[in-house]
Each structure stands twice: as structure tokens, then as C-alpha cells.
Amino acid sequence: MSMNRREASAAMFAGAVGLVTNAAIGHEQTGSLRNSAAEEQIISLLHQLHGAFENRDLESIGNLISKADFLASFEIAPDGGPMIVTSRDQMLSYLTKVFEHYGKSAQVAIKTNPRVPHTAIASNNFGVTVEQCVLDATLSDGTPEKLNMRGTRLSVEKQTVGRLSTGTYRPAERRRMCMKSTARSAARSLLSSAMLVAYLAGPWRPACAAGAYHLSLIAKDASAGTDAAISKDGRKVVVSSRRGGGVNYRLWLYDTQSHQWRSLGEASGDQIEPQFSPDGTKIVYTSTASGNKDIWVLTLASMHRQRITNTPDDDEYAAWSPDGQSIVYTSGPWKANNFYVVQLEKGKWTRPVAVLKEPGRIGSCSFMESSERLLCHTYESGYGQISVFARDGTRVERMTQGPEWDYKAFSSPTGQQIAFSRISGTSSTIWVRDASRGVPQPVTVSAYQDRWPMFYNGNSIFFHRIKREGTQVVLLDRATGSTRVVVASSEKPLQAAMDAKDELLAYCSDTGDRLEIRIRDLKEQRTVSVPTESLNACYPRWSPDGRHLGFLVFDGVKWKLAVADRNGGGFRHIDGNVEFVNGVSGPIDWSPNSTSVLLAANTAAYETGIYTIDVGSAAVTQLTKDEWFNEAPAWAPSGNEISFMSTRGGGFSWGLFRMSLRDKAIAQIVHPSYDETNYPRVGRRSTIWTQYRPCDGRPYIVEARPGKAPRILYGFPGAIWPSFTADESRILFTRIEDTVEFWSAAPTQGAPGGS
């Protein structure tokens, strides 16, 4: 269940880029553009950019973009959506990834494409809010096209659609404006705008939800698992939860009208991934009662439970057909899964029938509006993508193609829209693709994890949101058991690190707008923020010599390694001489001699390897070479071995391991289990890690000394990311609160499915 947070991939797709400069262009009351010197300058600039794109000259592109005030663009592309670009570095990072991904493709070239839909340009200094608009455009071949475009929480003077042809940029002949009439003022500034077609990508992360949907909170549960479903009429929600205590996840029902919870009874093992039947009388779910995962059906009226599958592999992610007569689910060995369908015939479920002719790297499936079509998530390309399959395994259509990680798709009752989860960068959001346009658009924009959407009551969308918030950073004295809170809940702290002299504390703080690194002098009680060019930053770690602070920054596409001086200045990227597929992940650790950083990096779909990066030369050394997730590496004090968490041998569950750096031999510290053993740190006298307790689902610190049984520090629920101080007399850790919320997104006018 927890592995979905690893389903991340770099964000990149074919799209259109808008450019804004500060030059003035005159306009009439209708908003049409006049010819002017400023307009000619923009056209000239676009010609230069077009040539730079043709030649794939990143430096020229960067220099040209830096001359303009690039603020924001709305992207409309076959697999695109809105995005925001705020810096030259961010743009160059996008373009680098684009050229790597598409440069060798015979179907997609980095050049002007008159068939790509168009881009609206927005500036943010006019006090005009974009609501919903329909843009009329004419393609270069004379074909008229109507495009639905939407913007949220951006101030806009006007929007312009361009008429595109190779090497030619000129204003559109027809255009509709999209602004609030109250903002039309003679005093407003003039916006210069133009268009450029290119291929690029990126996450779109304004501060709140997308404007085409109205969001409302249905319920929340601090004990819930990471899955939930709603009945077709919206009256009941079923979740897997540890409400009321107990070791295992049980099914609980929430009535959206009476706001009451009730248990759906006891059963062996965990009961997870529930889905209502179309008529709401049954629930299909995954159970671990047999020791592995099998599919079961619960009849609500009689509370009778029926086992549907019995295989040695994990059977999971079950979903009903629209007529309630079939169930599709995923099963098979690691990275060799298949989709299977069982049917209800004369009151009995048939033997499973494989959908795909060959097993592969697949995720989950659901039925579309017809019981003969399946909407499935696969990742054979290295990215999560959504496709439509026939029951015979024929791929009918690719709905999304990466490079974002798209998963858990669900069809509307008519099949005109699909909703899915998309991971891009640090968060998961809900997206909708309208079949009539073929253009995904975001339903939510969240710093949290919005997951597993499904339609109900027509075109309303249900999803759950996983929220993790830091409550405090704590220092625990191992001898006395006394504690000291060094960062309070007001700063929403995340991972923290102490320097070798126990003088400076570095920690990650969630400001609401972004994640930033702060350094606190514990003696002077003075705190400074590390300047990171407004990039999100987290996972700090001091070098043993105390001279440098290493941490990770998110450049809009990937997390990368960065370093600052002891006082917080001297920020610089350490990209390494290897282009990691989806960036790096934390926590990180320094070598005992303070010359290199140990970290995990995404190497392929469902794979993460351990690497070192030399801070001086940027040389990269790969330590693990296998098909597992290997993360959270830490050096042993001797410098001769490392510890890390890994899924090796455990499928989707985590265990702890150590590797000798002399011969690369790997030994097990803690066997993989669904209790999730995470974030190990090996000291001179003991090893500490985080482990989730089954009885309450919260993380605790575990300490293991040689020859003694591990002990859980029960006094600190919610403790995560433990580390030793330099003399190992104290343990530093962060306390967190995890909550699962259940939300509804109702389409407003202009949204897919809206009236």
C-alpha cells in the first residue's frame, strides 16, 4: 500500500510555451493586436527561439529567455496541461529532459508544429482573474478550432491565440477575451504577448485547487490506510482503517448523510483496497488472511464473505464491471504481472482469465463504460501511462504517454471522461481527460498526495488525500531519557540534522508556499533560511567536518543534490556527471571524510539505486545494481559499510540491509515486512530506525544493540528520520502526524462533465 509514493517520474510531454515581455503593444477595446515596433521585436525574438529549438541549442535558448520576463503559460497539448515556469534554470532543465526524451524519435521533432493546439499568455500584474474561456483559433492550414482553456489564481490582462505556421508568427484573426468585466480599466497596463511552439514539460503547482472544480471535504480518518471508495450514489464511503484499535486494517463504512462510521466486521488479516459494486450491495476487496493477497467479495446485507482468488501471487486492485458481473484485478510475480478477469455465472465466479498475452510491468485496471473495455495503468516504458485495452488484451488507445507517472485511472459512466492520479515532482494530483478534447487538465493542485479518483453521481469525482505534517523536532538524551523540543509545530518541520559540534541544527520547514532549509544556532537561538533561488529544498545533512551542509533541491522536474556553506551561503548544485532518470531522493549522508554524499537515485520504473557523488569532482559511483528499491542510505562510522532500506525479497514491503564497501556483499538487518522498517542509522554501539506499529499505524523509533532484542521507544509516537548526534549521546528525530482525508470534486461550468 505504501509503495504508491514511489510511483514518481520526471514530468515532461509535448506542449506549447508562452513567452511574455514587458514591451507595450497597443490594443483596441476588442483586444485585437496592432502592428507595432514592439510586436516586431517579439516576432523577431520568436524566430530566434524557433531557430534555437531547431538546432537544440540550450545555451541560446536560455540567453534569449533571460531577456524576457517569462511569467506563466497555459499549455494545451495532446498529453499536456497547465504549467508555470519561473526561471531560466528551470526552463533549461525542462528542455534538457525534452531533448533527451524526444531527440531520437522519428515521430516527434523539436520544431514548429502547426497542428499542436495553442497557448494563452498570462501576466500577473493586472488584478484580473482568469475564470473559464473558450478560444477560437485558426490553424495555419485554415482549419478553425475551438479550444477550452482554464486558468486559476493568475492575474491576466488579456489572452492571445496565435496563428502558427513554420517560421511565421502573427496574431490570430479571431479571438475571445477571458476576463472579469469589472477589471476593465483605462488605467491598466498593456501586455505584450506572442507564441512559441516547443516540446517541454513540468509540474503545475499553484497554491490551491484547480478552478474548474468545487472541492469539499467529506470526512477524515487519522487511522485510515491509503485506499477508499464511494458508492455510485455518493451516500456511503468505504475505507480500510485501524479505527477502534487493533493490528489489522478493517473495512469501515461512512454515511455521508448521517456522518456516522460503522465497522463492517472482523476478519483475519488486512482488508484493503475496497470497491463498491455498481448497485452498492457488495464490496470487493483485497485480504491478506491467507498470508498473501487474495480477492474477496463482501455482501453487505448478509455480511457473507466469499473468496474469489487463491494463488501464490499477490492478487490486488480489484474493480467491478458496470453490470456487476465481472471483476478485474492485478496479479503475478514482481514486474511480471497481468490483468485478470473473473465473471459471475449462475451465482459462481469463474476461473481467472488473463487479459494480456504476455505479463509485464503493469499497475491496476478498471472497466470503462462498457464491460468490454478496460482502462489500465502500465509502466513498461519507464513512465506511468494510462491505456484502453480490449478484453482480449489489444491496446486500443494510449490516453497518456508520460513522462509523468499516471496511475489508478477511472472512467465516467458515459466513458467521455477519465480521471487519474498523476505524480509529478513532490506531490500526487488528480487529473481529468475529456475524450472530446484529448487534453488532460488538473482537478486538484496540492502539496499533499491526492490519489485514486473515481466518478460518482454522474461526473463528480471522489478521491482521498494523504497529509503528512511535522509537529516538532526533538533531541532525546539516551542516558536520562529527557527530551528537548528544538523546533516547534508552528514551523511544520520535516527532516533535521545536527552538526558535529552540536551547535547548529539544520532542518526542513514547510512554509505553505514551499519547503525551505533553515539553520538554527542552538546557543544564540538565531535562525536563518538558506537561500536556494526559491527552489523547494529538504533533507539536510551536515558534513562531518562541519564545513558544509548538503541537501536536496527540486528544480521543477527533479530533486537534485545541492551544497551550502556552514553559514547558509554559497548555495550551489552538485548535479553529478550522470543524468539520473527521475532525480535523487532523501535522506542523504556524508562520507566520514566529508568528500562525497551518499544518496538514492531513480534508475528505472520501480527501481532505485544507491550512489555516491563526489562534491568536488561531481563524479558518480554506483553501489547497488539490482531491480529493487534501495533508499535512505547511511554510512557506518567506520566508513567501510553502508546501511539502507530496500524492498529486496519483499515485493512492496521494506526491510533493512547493510553493504560492505570492500566486496559489495549485502547482509540483512531486518527482514522486509508490512510494518515498514525505514531510515536506518548505524552507530558505534547500536543501530536505530523507524518502524510502523501495526496496532496504531504510527511510526516509532527502534533501537537495536548487539546481543540484545530491539526495543521500541513507545513514548514518541509519530517519530521518524532518527539520527545520532556526533558522540551518540542523543538521538535527533522529527515527529509527524499523518491523516487521510476524503474529498469530493464537483465540476463547475466549463469543466469536463460540467453544465
Asked if the structure places residue 596 within a domain, the reply is no
Range of the domain at 461: 213-467+741-747
Sole residue written with cell 553501489: 623
**Statement to judge: residues 36 and 129 lie in one domain:** yes
Q: What's the pLDDT at 4? A: 33
Task: Using the predicted structure, report yes or no on whether residue 527 has a pLDDT greater than 90.
Answer: yes
Query: Are 465 and 507 in contact, with CB atoms under 8 Å apart?
Result: no
* DSSP β-ladder status, 192-200 and 213-221: unpaired
Q: Is residue 731 part of a domain?
A: no
Q: Are 140 and 172 in contact (CB under 8 A)?
A: no
Q: Which of 573, 623, 633 is nearest to 603 (CA)?
A: 623
End-to-end CA distance of the chain: 36
Task: Name the residue with cell 509514493.
Answer: 5
Q: What is the pLDDT of residue 545?
A: 96
233 and 177 belong to one structural domain: no
Is it the case that residue 318 has pLDDT exceeding 60? yes
Q: Grid coordinates in use for 131?
A: 475564470
| CA angle 690–693–694, rounded 5-degree value | 145
Do residues 9 and 423 lie in contact, with contact meaning Cβ atoms separated by under 8 Å? yes
C-alpha cell at 417: 471522461
Between 437 and 280, the more confident residue is 280
User: Is residue 599 within 8 Å of 633, Cβ to Cβ?
Assistant: yes
Which residues have CB under 8 Å from 336's CB, separation 6+? 359, 360
Same domain, residue pair 423 and 462? yes
pLDDT at residue 508 greater than cutoff 90: yes
Answer yes or no: is 158 within a domain. Answer: yes
- Is residue 136 located within the same domain as residue 239? no
111 and 240 in a common domain = no
For residue 633, being part of any structural domain is answered with no
Report if residue 175 sits inside a domain. yes
Which pLDDT value is given to residue 15? 23
Contact 716, 701 (CB under 8 A): yes
183 with 248, same domain: the answer is no
Q: How far apart are CA 314 and CA 324, in angstroms?
A: 23
Confidence (pLDDT) at 93: 58
Confidence of residue 605 (pLDDT cuts 50, 70, 90): low
Structure confidence at residue 188 (pLDDT): 21
Task: Give 299-317 as a 3 state SS string.
Answer: ECCCCEEEECCCCCCCCEE
Q: Does residue 266 fall inside a structural domain? A: yes
C-alpha cell at 689: 530506525
pLDDT computed for residue 53 by the predictor:
53
Q: 119-123, 512-516, 650-654: lowest mean pLDDT where? A: 119-123
Pairing mode, if any, of strands 504-510 and 493-498? antiparallel
Q: Are residues 417 and 394 in the same domain?
A: yes
Q: 312 Cβ partners below 8 Å, 6+ apart?
A: 292
389-397 long-range contacts (CB < 8 A, ≥24 apart) are 389/339, 389/355, 389/356, 389/365, 391/341, 391/355, 392/355, 393/354, 393/355, 393/356, 393/357
Q: What is the mean pLDDT of residues 384-395?
A: 92
405 CB contacts (<8 Å, ≥6 apart)? 7, 8, 9, 379, 383, 384, 422, 423, 424
DSSP, res 566: T
Residue count (the chain): 755
Distance between CA 239 and CA 263 in Å, rounded? 10
Residue of 576 and 406 predicted with greater confidence: 406
Mean pLDDT of the chain: 74
Q: Which of 129-133, 353-357, 518-522, 743-747 has the lowest mean pLDDT?
A: 129-133
184 and 273 in a common domain: no
State the pLDDT confidence band at 649, using cuts at 50, 70 and 90. Answer: confident
DSSP secondary structure letters along 612-623 = EEETTT--EEE-
Higher pLDDT, 231 or 398: 231
- Determine the average pLDDT of the residues in 450-457: 95
Determine which helix (DSSP H) or strand (DSSP E) holds 461, and give its type and residue range. strand 460-477
Residue 37 parent element (H or E): helix 37-55
Identify the top-confidence range among 119-133, 528-542, 663-677.
528-542
The residue out of 168, 200, 232 marking a domain boundary is 200
pTM score, whole prediction: 0.67
Task: Considering only residues 708 and 679, tell me which one the structure prediction assigns the higher pLDDT.
Answer: 679
Q: Of 200, 221, 240, which residue is a domain's last?
A: 200
Average pLDDT estimate for 468-486: 94
d(CA 656, CA 27): 65
Confidence of residue 742 (pLDDT cuts 50, 70, 90): very high
3-class SS at 172? coil
DSSP codes, 65-100: HHTS---EEE---TT---B----HHHHHHHHHHHHH
Angle of CA points 713, 538, 466, to nearest 5° = 65
The whole-number pLDDT of residue 267 equals 87
Question: What is the per-residue pLDDT across 54-96, written as a single tens digit (0 to 9) for each?
Answer: 555 555 655 555 444 332 232 323 333 333 444 445 555 555 5
Q: Tell the residue number behind the cell numbers 501576466, with chain if given.
A: 123
Checking if the pLDDT of 346 tops 50, the result is yes
CATH number at residue 329: 2.120.10.30
Between 605 and 104, the more confident residue is 605
- Cell numbers found for residue 403: 513522462
Distance, CA of 720 to CA of 678 (rounded, Å): 8
**pLDDT of 217-259, one tens digit each?**
999 998 888 889 999 999 999 999 988 777 789 999 999 999 9
Which of 200, 227, 262 is at the close of a domain?
A: 200
- Across 508-527, average pLDDT: 92
Position 426 scores a pLDDT of: 60
- d(CA 342, CA 337) in angstroms, rounded, equals 16
How would residue 628 be classed by pLDDT, with cut points 50, 70 and 90?
confident
Amino acid at 156: V
Q: What is the pLDDT of residue 557?
A: 67
Same-domain pairing of 66 and 96: yes
In which residue are the cell numbers 558518480 written? 620
Least confident window among 425-434, 533-542, 678-687, 708-717 = 425-434
pLDDT band at 179 (very low <50, low <70, confident <90, very high): very low
Q: Do residues 673 and 696 make contact, with C-beta atoms less than 8 angstroms apart? A: no
Q: Which of 62-76, 87-101, 585-599, 724-738 has the lowest mean pLDDT?
A: 62-76
| Unique residue bearing C-alpha cell 483559433 | 137
Nearest to 273 by CA among 243, 315, 333: 315
SS (HEC) of 625-662: CCCCEEEEEEECCCCCEEEEEECCCCCCCEEEEEEECC
pLDDT band at 383 (very low <50, low <70, confident <90, very high): confident
For the chain, the C-alpha Rg in angstroms (whole number) is 27
Q: Is the pLDDT of residue 512 over 60?
A: yes
The mean per-residue pLDDT over the stretch 361-383 comes to 88
Phi then psi for residue 41, to 5 deg, are -65, -40
User: Which triple of cell numbers denotes residue 432?
Assistant: 481529468
Closest-CA residue to 110 (of 222, 252, 203, 14): 14
Task: Look at residue 28 and tell me if it is in a domain.
Answer: yes
673 located within any domain: no
49 and 162 share a domain? Answer: yes
Total domains present in the chain: 2
Given a cut of 80, whether residue 291 has pLDDT beyond it is yes
Q: Do 178 and 217 share a structural domain?
A: no
For residues 171 and 275, membership in a common domain is answered with no
